Amino acid sequence: MKEIYEASSGMGEVSESALKTYGKDKKTNNNLFISISKAVGLFFASQMFSMILITVYLMNTSLTKKETAEGVGFNFSLGKSEILSANSILIMLLSEIFMIAIFVLYARFKDKLSFRSLGFVTKNMPLSYLAGGAGSSLCMLVLALICKATGAMTFTHDAANTPLLILFAIGFVIQGLAEEVMCRGFLIAHITRRYSVKTAVIASSILFALLHAFNPSGISLVALINLFLFGVFASQMFLYSENIWLCAGFHTVWNYVQGNVLGVPVSGVPIPSFFKMTANENMSLINGGNFGLEGGIPVTIILVASCVILYFLIKRKERIISNHSAKGFL
């Protein structure tokens, strides 16, 4: 997967270790459409496990007995509230473990990609994950302060169900890693075996945005742009750190703090939280409306700034490595 770091991609050779790691993988004949279709197919295959678990849960909670003229019957009524209940959402998050397993196993045994190619690097793993989480927490703090200062949102303390929120933390750890494995590790690893890193970043980011377009409510043009930008930023984190942990940590904490701490919908999905959020309906361009912060302009500004900063950090890293390589030939 040496092509990720070729100068023609616009990002250059990030490091010698990366070239050694990714260079083990042979080029594939799969074109861009096949690579994306493969990812989408594996995604829907993994979601079957989630749907089975959700169906079993809803059947157990929504199926009730009723007396009829013919005797005892059953009544099954299912509404949006049941599907979006805290337990249902938690099951969906936890079941993403199947998504990780399917993508990793397929990449390893079918496509013969190494675990390192997908970003599963043990070196600096805890530090990278914590760094991603810290950066994400800082972003959420800035966004919350902006919303509070402008009157776009008000936050009040809510009665928290601590055991449930702990389970949600585990769920978001799994869900954040699952989406990063698919859109960053798997897709970038596959697309860059034949195309440039720019193509891989753009294609994976578009797919990431489109997969969230079918979320329950509040999707808008701003939200789609922000989801795409988040994909670009996460891809840059993946390429800069040369592991999956930095972007996975950022993704997990982004969702958890936004939903379970601030009480803001996560991509249109309401989440139980420590605080209760009330949004000003007249300031949806700031607070993102029903979609959550990701539908607002402040997120756009933060993500664009973050992408620019990471771009220059990547270029700086390239220059350092290039200088070291040049000295090695002297």
| Cβ atoms of 230 and 257 closer than 8 Å | no
266 phi and psi angles, rounded to 5 deg: -100, 105
- How far is residue 237's CA from residue 222's CA, in Å, rounded to a whole number? 22
Q: Give residue 79's pLDDT.
A: 52
What pLDDT, on the 0 to 100 scale, is given for residue 15?
37
- Distance CA(292)–CA(294), nearest Å, equals 5
Name the nearest CA neighbour of 267 among 50, 62, 92. 92
Which pLDDT does position 57 carry in this prediction? 81
Q: State how far the alpha carbon of 7 is from the alpha carbons of 17, 196, 200, in Å.
A: 16, 9, 15
**Token couple for 101:** 């397993």
**Among the listed residues 172, 42, 40, the one whose alpha carbon sits nearest the alpha carbon of residue 105:** 42
- Judging by DSSP bridges, how do beta strands 71-76 and 63-68 pair with one another? antiparallel
Domain positions in the chain are 8-26+116-328
What letters, b where the CB count within 10 A reaches 16 and e where it falls short, cover 180-202?
A: bbbbbbbbbbbbbbbbbbebbbb
> Can you give the pLDDT at residue 327?
65
The rounded distance, in Å, linking the Cα atoms of 90 and 172 is 9
Q: Output the tens digit of pLDDT for each of the chain's 330 residues.
A: 343 344 334 344 333 333 344 444 445 556 899 999 999 999 999 999 888 888 888 777 765 545 555 544 455 455 555 556 888 899 999 999 999 999 999 999 998 888 998 999 998 899 999 999 999 999 999 999 999 999 999 999 877 788 999 999 999 999 999 999 999 999 998 899 889 999 999 999 999 999 998 887 778 999 999 999 999 999 999 999 999 999 999 999 999 999 999 999 999 998 999 998 999 999 999 999 999 999 999 999 999 999 999 999 999 988 888 877 666 555
Helix (H, G, I), strand (E, B) or coil at 269: strand
pLDDT tens string 77-116: 555 555 568 888 999 999 999 999 999 999 999 988 889 9
Rounded CA-CA distance 116/194 in Å is 18
Stated length of the chain: 330
Question: 277 φ, ψ to 5°?
Answer: -105, 135
Q: What local confidence, expressed as pLDDT, does residue 328 receive? A: 59
- For residues 76 and 83, give the distance between their C-alpha atoms in angstroms, rounded to a whole number: 13
Biggest distance spanned by C-alpha atoms of the chain: 94
